[in-house]
Structure 1
C-alpha cells in the first residue's frame, strides 16, 4: 500500500542527496582540473570541431550542460566568443552531460555509504588540495549512488499501484501521442527542477524499480533534453543579441533533434535494445531491473552524439536560422560594459579566467584614459576639450568595472568551492582591478589640474612643459611595459620592472628639484607652482599603482 506522504518526503530527500552529490562532484572535479578548464577556454578558435571538444571536456568537469551553456551565453554576452563558436561548445556540452547517465548506470548503489565513509574524513581534515579533492569525488559519488538508492526504494510501491500503472499504460511510449506526452512531461519537469541530471536520476530510479518501461523512460529523457535549454534562455534575458542567439541555438538544436527521433521512436528504442548487452525488461530476484539504466544512458548518449555529428556541418546554417529567429532590435542599447552572467551559475574554475578577460578589457580602457590625458596636456592641440570628456567618461566606466569585478569575485568565492591557489588568484584580480581604477582616477585628476590652469589663464614655462610632457611619456611607456603581463605572462622580468620604477623615481626627483629651482628664481607663480606639483604627483602615483598592478598580476615584491 502506498503512503503518499512517506513516499514524497523519501523521494525528495533522496533527490536532495543526489543533487548534493552532483554539486560536490562538480566542485571537486573543477578543483582537480587545475588550469585545464582555463586552457580549454583559451584554445577557443573558429574551428567547430575544437569548440565541440571543448564543450565535451568542460561539461565532463562541471557535470552540468546547463552550467556550461550559461557560461557560453556569458562569454558571448561579453564579446569573448562568436556565435558559431558558442553553438559548437553547446553541442559538445550536450554530449558531455551524457556521462551523468553512465555514472548512474553503474550498479553500485549499495556501496554509496562505503564511498562516503572512505572519503569524508580526508575531505574534511586533509590540508592537501589534491587529496581533499579526490576524497570529495568519493563522497560525491557515494551521495549520488546513495541518493539514487533512496529514490528507487521510495518509488518501488508505484509498480503495484493501479492508478499509476494505468497512467503508464497511457504513456507507454508505443504510440506517437504517448511519446509526445512523455516528452512534454520530461520537458516541464526539467524546467521546474532546473537540472536535467536530477531528472535523469529520477527517470532511472523509476525505471530500475519497474515503475516505468524503457520506452517511457527514453521518451522522458528526450523531453529532459529540451527542458534543460530553459536555463540558457533565462541567462540570455537582458544580455547581448549574440548571447540570446546562442541560447536560442541550444533550444533549436535540441527541439529539432527530438522531433526527428520522435518520427522513428520505436525503431530507435529497438536499436538501443539490440546494441546494449542485457535485456532491459529483465528483473532480478528483488524485482529490480539491473540493465535498464545502461539502456537509458545509451539512448541519451546516442541521441546527442548522432545529433551533433549530423548538425556539425550545418553550424553556419543554424547560426543564420537563429539570427532570423532573434533579430536585432532597432535602436537596442549596446551597453559599454556587459558583465559575464551571475556568479552563482559559474564555477570558480571558469569564473576566474572570465574575470581576467574583463580585467583585460578594463586595462584597455585605462590605456585609453592615459593616452587621452596626454593629448589633453598638449595646449596647441585643436579640439583638445573632447579629450577631457573622454577621460572623465572612461574614469566613470572603470569605477563601474572595478565595483562589478569585486562584487563578482566575492560572490563567486562565497558560492563556490575554491582551492587555495584559485582563491589567491581570484583576489589578486580584485587587487589588480583596484589598481587599474586608481590609475584611471589619477589620469582624470591630471586633466582636472590642467583644466584649472586653463580656467585661470595661467601657463608654465617652456622648461616646465618639457618636463611634464617627458614625465607623462615615460610613465605611459612604463604602463605599457607592465600591460604585457595581460597578453604574455612573465615576458618582462621582475628585475626590469623594478629597475624601471626606480629610474622613474629618480626622474621624478629631478623634475621636482628643477621645479623648486624655478620657484626660487621667482619665474613661477603660486597657483601654477601648486598645479605643476599636483600634476607631477599624479603622474608619480600612476607609476606607483602600475608597479602594484604588476605585483597583483604575476610578481612578488623583491626581498628587502
Structure 2
C-alpha cells in the first residue's frame, strides 16, 4: 500500500509541476516579450496555414504535441497569440507529431533537463540584464520535464501485461479506438501510444489493421493535455481546449469513413507492416488538418462569438 500511495503522489506531483511550469512560462513570456513578441508571433501566425505550419514544425522538433498545444493555450490566455492563431497552431501540432511513428527508435528526449539546466545556469551566472530570460527558459524546460515525469510514472499502465493479454479483444476497431484514447489520456503522450502501436506490429504481435485504430484513438486522448493546461487558465482557454478536441474528433470521423478506402489500400501495399502504420498515421493527420483548416474560415465568426461569450 505504501508503494501504491507513493506512486499516486508522484504522478500527482508531476501533474502539479506541469501546471505550474505552464502557467509560469506563459507569464514570463508575456512579461518579457510584451508587444514585440506579440507582433512577431502574429506575423508568423497571421494566416491559418502559416500557423499550422509553425505548429507542425515545432512539434516535429520537440516531439511533443502535448507541449505545443498546451503552450498555445497558455499563450492565447495571455493574449500573446490570438484565439484563431492558437487553434491553427494546435491543428498543425497533430501533423508534426506523426514524425514519432517514423522515428520511434530515435525519439527526441532529454529536452526538459537540458532547458531546466541551461535556464537555471543562465539566470544565475548570465549577464545581469539578460538573466530574466533564463527564468523563462527554465520554465520552458519544466513543462517538458513534467511531461516526461508524467509519462514515466504512468507508462507501466500502458506497457504492462494488461495490454498484451488483451490484444485479441482489440481486434474490434471501436475497442482499439477507445483503448488508444484511454491509454493516451493516462500517459499524457500520443508518442507513447504511437510507439506501442508501431513496435508490436514490427514484432508481429499486433496486426496493422488494429494498430491504426489505436493511433487514431491517440488523437482523441492527446487532447486531455490541453484540457489539463486550460484548467489553470480562463474560460476562453478551456473553450480552446474543447475546440481542439472537436477538430480531433472530426479527424477520427474522417478516418472511420471517408479515409477507409485509402487506409485499406495502404495496408495492402508490400511495405513493412510498421511502415504501413506510420504511413496511415501521417496520411490521417494530414487529411484531418486540411479538413480543419478548410472549415475554420467559414466557422470562425460563430466560434469566436462562442469562445468570448460569458455563458
Q: How far does the alpha carbon of each residue in 1:63-110 deviate from its partner, in whole angstroms, 9 at most, with x for none?
A: 111100001001100011112111111111111111111112x7x99x
Q: How far does the alpha carbon of each residue in 1:103-143 deviate from its partner, in whole angstroms, 9 at most, with x for none?
A: 12x7x99xxxxxxxxxxxxxxxxxxxxxxxxxxxxxxxxxx
Q: How does 1:458-477 map to 2 (within 5 A)?
A: none
Which structure carries more relative contact order (alpha carbon 8 Å, separation 6+)? 2
Structure number having the greater helix percentage: 2
Structure-2 residue corresponding to 1:298: 279
Give the alignment partner of residue 230 of structure 1, picking from 218, 224, 234. 224
Kept in 1: contact 2:236–2:307 (CA 8 A) = no
Structure-1 residue corresponding to 2:252: 258
SS in 2 for 1:72: helix
Shift of 1:311: 2.0
Structure-2 residue corresponding to 1:58: 58
Q: How does 1:123-142 map to 2 (within 5 A)?
A: none
Structure-2 residue corresponding to 1:179: 173
Shift of 1:180: 1.4
Shift of 1:259: 1.6
Q: How does 1:2-401 map to 2 (within 5 A)?
A: 41=41, 43-104=43-104, 164=165, 167-172=166-171, 178-263=172-257, 266-274=260-268, 277-278=270-271, 291-320=272-301, 322-323=303-304, 328-329=309-310
Q: Residues 205 and 254 from structure 1, CA distance in 2 versus in 1: closer, same or farther, beyond 3 angstroms?
A: same
Q: How far does the alpha carbon of each residue in 1:33-80 deviate from its partner, in whole angstroms, 9 at most, with x for none?
A: xxxxx8984643431111111111211222111100001001100011
Unaligned runs of 5+ in 1: 1-37, 110-150, 173-177, 279-290, 331-560
Shift of 1:324: 7.0
Question: Distance in 2 between the 1:303 and 1:72 partners?
Answer: 22
Q: CA RMSD in A?
A: 3.1
Unaligned runs of 5+ in 2: 1-36, 108-155
Q: Residues 201 and 321 from structure 1, CA distance in 2 versus in 1: closer, same or farther, beyond 3 angstroms?
A: farther
SS in 1 for 2:44: coil
Shift of 1:277: 4.7
Aligned length: 224
Larger radius of gyration: 1
Shift of 1:218: 0.1
Question: Distance in 2 between the 1:70 and 1:241 partners?
Answer: 15
Shift of 1:313: 2.2
Question: Distance in 2 between the 1:42 and 1:84 partners?
Answer: 10
**TM-score, scaled relative to structure 1:** 0.37
Q: Residues 213 and 45 from structure 1, CA distance in 2 versus in 1: closer, same or farther, beyond 3 angstroms?
A: closer
Deviates more, 1:48-57 or 1:188-197: 48-57
Kept in 2: contact 1:248–1:322 (CA 8 A) = no
Kept in 2: contact 1:182–1:219 (CA 8 A) = yes
Question: Distance in 2 between the 1:63 and 1:263 partners?
Answer: 28
Q: Residues 231 and 304 from structure 1, CA distance in 2 versus in 1: closer, same or farther, beyond 3 angstroms?
A: same
Kept in 2: contact 1:55–1:68 (CA 8 A) = yes
Q: How far does the alpha carbon of each residue in 1:404-434 deviate from its partner, in whole angstroms, 9 at most, with x for none?
A: xxxxxxxxxxxxxxxxxxxxxxxxxxxxxxx
